[in-house]
């Protein structure tokens, strides 16, 4: 029809336009009745798109796919279409991002608070204890981090009953998918445009996702702050990493597209090293410069080192300590890492604790509004309730990367076991209010197969923070990641195989 091109001067035409407009803002929820043939066509196009645009991961079934780039690639697990999300909650999540960045920075400076809050956890959690030892050592040596870089992702679920946007956690180390997440938004926008007639959806309702640019810009600016033109940016990586393309997107992005003024003046190089390699090749010069091989390291970006399995021997711990002792800008520093633990999240949710770190009352209120119920296992009333009604709680150890939490009847069993043992082991965990997001039908794609299932989503907002001794250089919300998982699954990790990458359709 040509009506879209006609001037709207008669009543009839205006009506016609209105219908067109309404059609173009059809809610996502109508989409579970799409013609299966159309779904198959879109799925095919999505698969082609992912392949030619690098929305890919290493394929589990190909042994070398985690080591050698270009070998055994498969499309990342994705949702075929974006997930509907209310615009007001979207804005809320974006708005608090710089406040959370600032909060993490302030908390990181309070070594006593970190040590004190985690002191009981330290006694029962060997991994956290090792991290804290490095932290203590830095405190004793009076080590200062004047230039601080945070690349965070704060995750939320929208609780269906209360309509509250509640924070699941904030990731201060190895927040993943800034690269692939940006691509998913592009893919969805492209599909919505291509199938505009059939779907009647408006691609402009998928917010631009500049996560990869924002992170790359922050890394480049941090490198600039380090002020050594010969220094490089070092990515700390796992020995095997099937999510390597997400990381490569970041390093290819950063000299050129986001920071043009840099590439003309300098040549920023990134290198990738495992913790074991850093132990083998790293030396500290008397002035604090970290050399790996013969390269000076300006910025260290961790995409490993967040899980006990990343430290199979003393070698990896030596590498972590060496880096911490150096003058390189660490993303994250040991303090930022600890500030992102679940125990600290729970401590910050206690009355009057935020006030210790933030002055602005509005900021405090905005942050507090996002806090779900969080408790230590010392709270006997809560423990009693969790034993009686375990389905309303999640029990969390101090771990990252998905697959570590305890749900449902296991909460009851674990709490009872801890009570019987009367052990200090209590301190390894926190309890959190279980959040129940809306369940909606979704098309999930994995291994080239598209299937429909009931799913729920978790919204991640990326935040970049950079400061030097005098000034905050960057404190921004930059991009997002929607992750959607089948509703029968408790956990939400994409890499762990529970969820798919998704984007947001604002309504
Ligand atoms: P990790 O650091 O391992 O990602 P999270 O705290 O993010 O740990 O928990 C992992 C997953 O468990 C989340 O992505 C989410 O799907 C689920 N989850 C965590 N906390 C809650 C909660 N309070 N209510 C409902 N689901 C939760
Ligand atoms: Mg995490
Ligand atoms: Mg998480």
Pocket of ligand 1 (CB under 6 A): 155, 168-169, 372, 394, 396, 399-402, 404-405, 432-435, 458, 491-492
Q: Which of 257, 228, 262, 234 is nearest to 247 (CA)?
A: 234
Backbone angles phi, psi at 291, to 5 degrees: -105, 130
Cα 413 to middle of ligand 1, angstroms: 19
Query: Which of 54, 401, 493, 497 does the annotation list as catalytic?
Result: 401
How far, in Å, CA of 173 to CA of 154, rounded?
Answer: 11
Query: Which of 117, 176, 326, 503 does the annotation list as catalytic?
Result: 176
Q: Is 401 a catalytic residue?
A: yes
Task: Answer yes or no: are the C-beta atoms of 500 and 77 closer than 8 Å.
Answer: yes
Q: What is the 3-state secondary structure (H, E, C) of 231-298?
A: CEEEEECCCCCCCHHHHHHHHHHCCCCCCHHHHHHCCCCEEEECHHHHHHHEEECCCCCEEECCEEEE
Q: Which two tokens stand for residue 292?
A: 């790996």
Q: Is 169 a catalytic residue?
A: yes
Q: Which two tokens stand for residue 353?
A: 């604790």
Q: Which of 323, 305, 322, 331 is nearest to 222 (CA)?
A: 331
Q: Is 227 a catalytic residue?
A: no
Give the relative orientation of helices 211-226 and 178-194 as an angle to the nearest 10 degrees: 150
Q: Which of 468, 452, 345, 333 is nearest to 396 (CA)?
A: 345
Each residue's pLDDT expressed in tens, for the chain with a length of 507 residues: 333 333 333 333 333 344 444 444 555 656 677 899 999 999 999 999 999 999 999 999 999 999 999 999 999 999 999 999 999 999 999 999 999 999 999 999 999 999 999 999 999 999 999 999 999 999 999 999 999 999 999 999 999 999 999 999 999 999 999 999 999 999 999 999 999 999 999 999 999 999 999 999 999 999 999 999 999 999 999 999 999 999 999 888 655 444 444 443 446 889 999 999 999 999 999 999 999 999 999 999 999 999 999 999 999 999 999 999 999 999 999 999 999 999 999 999 999 999 999 999 999 999 999 999 999 999 999 999 999 999 999 999 999 998 899 999 999 999 999 999 877 899 999 999 999 999 999 999 999 999 999 999 999 999 999 999 999 999 999 999 999 999 887 776 676 667 999 999 999
The best mutation among 394, 398, 404, 439 to test binding of ligand 1, ranked by most ligand atoms within 8 Å of the C-beta, falls on 394
As a 3-state breakdown, the chain gives helix, strand, coil percent values, each rounded to 5, of: 45, 25, 30
Q: Is 396 a catalytic residue?
A: yes
Ligand that comes closest to the CA of residue 402:
1
Ligand that comes closest to the CA of residue 492:
1
Query: Which of 171, 182, 326, 333 does the annotation list as catalytic?
Result: 171
Q: What is the 3-state secondary structure (H, E, C) of 195-218?
A: CHHHHCCCHHHCCCCCHHHHHHHH
Q: Is 208 a catalytic residue?
A: no
ipTM of the complex: 0.99
Q: Is 204 a catalytic residue?
A: no
Rounded to whole angstroms, what are the CA distances from 38 to 20, 42, 255?
Answer: 21, 6, 40
Cα 437 to middle of ligand 1, angstroms: 12
Cβ neighbours of 440 (radius 10 Å):
17
Q: Which two tokens stand for residue 98?
A: 């710089």
Task: Answer yes or no: are the C-beta atoms of 427 and 456 closer than 8 Å.
Answer: no
Question: 123-127: long-range contacts at Cβ-Cβ below 8 A with a sequence spacing of 24 or more?
Answer: 123/424, 123/427, 124/423, 124/424, 124/425, 124/426, 124/427, 124/428, 125/397, 125/398, 125/427, 125/428, 126/308, 127/307, 127/308, 127/311, 127/398, 127/399
Cα 491 to middle of ligand 1, angstroms: 6
Query: Which of 102, 217, 324, 400 does the annotation list as catalytic?
Result: 400
Q: Is 326 a catalytic residue?
A: no
Q: What is the pTM of this model?
A: 0.92
Give Cβ neighbours of residue 42 (< 8 Å, ≥ 6 apart).
80, 81, 191, 195
Cα 155 to middle of ligand 2, angstroms: 9
Backbone angles phi, psi at 101, to 5 degrees: -60, -50
Distance of CA 177 to the CA centre of its chain: 7
Q: Which of 91, 39, 33, 165 is nearest to 507 (CA)?
A: 91
Please, is 161 exposed, middle or buried when counting C-beta atoms within 10 Å of its C-beta (0-12, 13-18, 19+)? Answer: exposed
Give the relative orientation of helices 380-388 and 409-421 as an angle to the nearest 10 degrees: 140
Task: Answer yes or no: are the C-beta atoms of 274 and 239 closer than 8 Å.
Answer: yes
């Amino acid at each position: 029809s040509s009506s879209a091109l006609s001037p709207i001067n008669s009543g009839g035409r205006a009506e016609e336009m209105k219908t067109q407009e309404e059609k173009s803002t059809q809610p996502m929820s109508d989409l579970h009745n799409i013609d299966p043939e159309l779904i198959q066509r879109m799925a095919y196009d999505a698969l082609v798109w992912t392949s030619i645009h690098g929305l890919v991961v290493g394929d589990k079934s190909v042994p070398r796919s985690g080591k050698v780039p270009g070998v055994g690639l498969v499309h990342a697990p994705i949702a075929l279409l974006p997930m509907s999300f209310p615009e007001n909650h979207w804005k809320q999540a974006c708005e608090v991002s710089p406040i959370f960045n600032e909060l993490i920075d302030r908390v990181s400076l309070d070594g006593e608070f970190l040590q004190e809050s985690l002191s009981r956890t330290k006694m029962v959690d060997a991994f956290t204890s090792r991290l804290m030892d490095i932290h203590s050592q830095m405190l004793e040596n009076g080590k200062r981090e004047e230039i601080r870089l945070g690349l965070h992702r704060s995750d939320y679920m929208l609780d269906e009953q209360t309509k509250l946007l509640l924070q699941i956690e904030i990731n201060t180390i190895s927040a993943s998918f800034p690269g692939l997440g940006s691509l998913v938004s592009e893919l969805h926008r492209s599909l919505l445009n291509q199938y505009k007639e059939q779907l009647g959806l408006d691609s402009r309702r998928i917010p631009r996702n500049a996560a990869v640019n924002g992170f790359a810009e922050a890394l480049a600016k941090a490198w600039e702050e380090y002020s050594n033109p010969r220094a490089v940016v070092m990515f700390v990586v796992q020995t095997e990493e099937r999510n390597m393309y997400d990381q490569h997107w970041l390093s290819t992005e950063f000299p050129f597209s986001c920071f043009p003024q840099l590439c003309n003046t300098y040549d920023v190089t990134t290198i990738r090293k495992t913790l074991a390699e850093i132990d083998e090749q790293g030396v500290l010069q008397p002035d604090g410069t970290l050399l790996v091989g013969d390269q000076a390291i300006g910025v260290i970006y961790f995409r490993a080192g967040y899980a006990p399995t990343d430290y199979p021997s003393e070698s990896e711990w030596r590498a972590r300590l060496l880096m911490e002792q150096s003058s390189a800008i660490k993303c994250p520093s040991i303090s930022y890492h600890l500030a992102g633990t679940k125990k600290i999240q729970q401590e910050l949710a206690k009355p009057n604790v935020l006030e210790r770190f933030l002055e602005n009352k509005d900021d405090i209120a905005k942050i507090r509004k996002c806090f779900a119920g969080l408790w230590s296992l010392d709270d006997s009333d809560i423990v009693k309730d969790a034993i009686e009604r375990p389905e309303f709680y999640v029990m969390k150890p101090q771990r990252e990367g998905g697959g570590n939490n305890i749900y449902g009847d296991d909460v009851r069993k674990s709490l009872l076991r801890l009570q019987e043992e009367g052990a200090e082991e209590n301190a390894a965990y926190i309890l959190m209010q279980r959040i129940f997001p809306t369940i909606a039908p979704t098309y999930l794609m994995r291994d080239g197969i598209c299937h429909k299932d009931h799913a729920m989503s978790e919204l991640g907002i990326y935040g970049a923070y950079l400061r030097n001794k005098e000034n905050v250089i960057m404190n921004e919300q930059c991009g997002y990641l929607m992750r959607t998982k089948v509703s029968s699954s408790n956990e939400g990790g994409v890499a762990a195989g529970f969820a798919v990458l998704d984007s947001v359709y604002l309504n």
